[in-house]
Structure 1
Amino acid sequence: MLKKYPFNVRVYGLLISQNNQLLISDELEHGMYFSKFPGGGLEYGEGLIDGLKREFLEECFFEIEIVRHFYTTDFYLKSAFDDTQIISIYYLVKNLLLINLPVKTVPFDFGERTVDGIFQSFRWIDLDKLKIEDVTFPADQKAVELLLKL
């Protein structure tokens, strides 16, 4: 008999500006504060690229182009929110149009901005000042570690 395993496929975009800054999303969801990359869960029937493009439209309100695959998690990771196993795929992306997104300088400076009841704000981090601790989750931290080696 075929067993069903609760996998949670996530797809994220690493957007680096012309000023050599990385876009970070600060969020408050389910009472937890966290910093991550723009992106999120893949919906059933959706491909990775389409899912990432949808997530950027939903969260950031602009379209992206995929530059290349960057990293896929290669270790076991349990979700911080439920009992699923997380599989995260990261792509280097670029914006297709000028970014018209309210950007903050302080983490978790939400104001009134919510997306589907989730508080969210964005900020840029200079790549030369980027630290692994700037993101919350282990898969994102691994992506930052790899990004710092470029």
Structure 2
Amino acid sequence: MYFNVRVYGLLINEHREILLSDEQVQGYRFIKFPGGGVEFGEGLIEALKREFVEECNTEVEVLSHFYTTDFYVKSAFNDSQIISVYYLVKPVGNLNFVTKTDLFDFEGKGDSLQSFRWKKLDELQPEDVTFRTDQYVVELLKTAK
């Protein structure tokens, strides 16, 4: 058993929509917030900025900490315990990624696919994301209005 530290960005645009990431990895489809794993030797904010550049080709500024997992979560992919840290972020400059309107609207083929969608915060529901921690963050977002 080991810990798997993840970091995610909550990017909300001027229309009060939040960015969601539709992904498919090894045939498994899921919806989450943009972000991913913290690499050894990296700080949380450094990792989040790297993930946004890698996934979204967009630099972000971290505005504030939003939530850190405070209950046990087992990884869906291995035997690790997931610790997720969420930050509110804003883009530095232009958004350099394409957004879609349909679920899992991937371009290309491969083992790892990703597309992005905006979802209105007022319409966001826990079932709109796959993982338990993200679902909890949705509940927190709805009460933070």
Q: Into which bin does the TM-score normalised by the smaller protein fall?
A: over 0.9
Corresponding letter in the other structure for 1:79:
S
Instruction: Give the gaps of 5 or more residues in structure 2.
Output: none
Aligned identity (percent) is 59
Say which SS state the counterpart of residue 51 (structure 1) adopts. Answer: helix
Corresponding letter in the other structure for 2:140:
L
Q: TM-score scaled to structure 1, two decimals?
A: 0.93
Q: Kindly provide the CA deviation profile for residues 84-130 of structure 1, in whole angstroms up to 9, marking residues without a partner as x.
A: 0000000000001111311100110002277xx41000000011111
The answer to whether residue 74 in structure 2 is matched with residue 78 in structure 1 is yes
Say which SS state the counterpart of residue 11 (structure 1) adopts. Answer: strand
- Moved segments of 4+, more than 4 Å: none
Instruction: Give the gaps of 5 or more residues in structure 1.
Output: none
The answer to whether residue 29 in structure 2 is matched with residue 37 in structure 1 is no
Q: CA deviation at 1:30?
A: 1.8
Matches of 1:75 and 1:25, distance apart in 2: 23
Aligned to 2:59: 63
1:13 to 9, 14, 22: 9
Contact 1:113–1:120 (8 Å) recurs in 2: no
Corresponding letter in the other structure for 1:48:
L
Alignment of structure 1 residues 1-150 onto 2, 5 Å:
5-112=1-108, 117-150=111-144
Q: TM-score scaled to structure 2, two decimals?
A: 0.96
**How many residues align structurally?**
144
- TM-align CA RMSD: 1.1
Matches of 1:81 and 1:34, distance apart in 2: 12
Contact 1:26–1:34 (8 Å) recurs in 2: yes
